[in-house]
A and B are shown apart, each in its own frame.
Chain A
Amino acid sequence: MLTPHARGALSHAVLTAMRSADTSTLAQAPQAESAQDAHLTLWALYEQHYRGFDDVAGELEWDPLLLSIRRKLEQDFEQTLRARIPQFPAPGNFAEDFFGFVADFDGASLSGHVQRKATKEQVCQLLRHRTVYHLKESDHTTWLIPRLSDRVKAAVMELQFDEYGAGDPQRLHAHLFRRGIEDSGLDSEYGAYINEAPLEILEENNAMSLFGLNRRLRAASLGFLAAFETTSSAPSRRMAAGLQRLGFPASMVEYYTEHVEADAVHEQLAVRTICGAFLEEEPQLHDDVYFGAWTSMDLEARYAARMLKEWAA
Chain B
Amino acid sequence: MTGEFQPGPQPEPQVEHPDVIFCPDGPMLLRGDHVIEDEDGNAHRTTRPVSAVCRCGGSMIKPWCDGTHKLLRRSSRD
Contacts and interface: CB of A to CB of B under 8 A. Distances in A.
Interface string B22-37: 0111110100000000
Contacts of B49: 158, 161-162, 166
Contacts of A154: 17
B23 A268 contact: yes
Contacts of B17: 154
B61 interface: yes
Chain B interface, >50% SS class = loop
Contacts of A268: 21, 23, 26-27, 29, 52
B58 to A, nearest CB: 12
Interface residues of A, number: 27
A99 B70 contact: yes
Contacts, number: 66
A94 to B, nearest CB: 12
A162 B50 contact: yes
A99 B48 CA distance: 23
Interface string B1-30: 000000000001001010001011111010
Chain A interface, >50% SS class = helix
A95 B74 CA distance: 15
Chain B interface size, under 10 / 10 to 19 / 20 to 34 / 35 or more: 20 to 34
Given A99-B70, A237-B60, A265 B12 contact: no
B65 A264 contact: yes
A199 to B, nearest CB: 30
Contacts of A273: 21
B66 A96 contact: no
Contacts of B25: 96
Contact of A269 (B50, B65, B67, B71): B50
Contacts of B60: 237
Contacts of A158: 49-50
22 contacts: A95-B24, A103-B70, A150-B12, A151-B12, A161-B49, A162-B49, A233-B66, A233-B67, A234-B66, A234-B70, A260-B61, A261-B66, A264-B27, A264-B66, A264-B67, A265-B27, A265-B50, A265-B51, A267-B67, A268-B52, A269-B29, A273-B21
Given A158-B49, A234-B71, A264-B66, 10 more contacts: A103-B74, A233-B66, A234-B68, A237-B60, A265-B50, A265-B52, A265-B65, A268-B26, A268-B52, A269-B50
Interface of A: 95-96, 99, 103, 149-151, 154, 158-159, 161-162, 166, 233-234, 237, 260-265, 267-269, 272-273
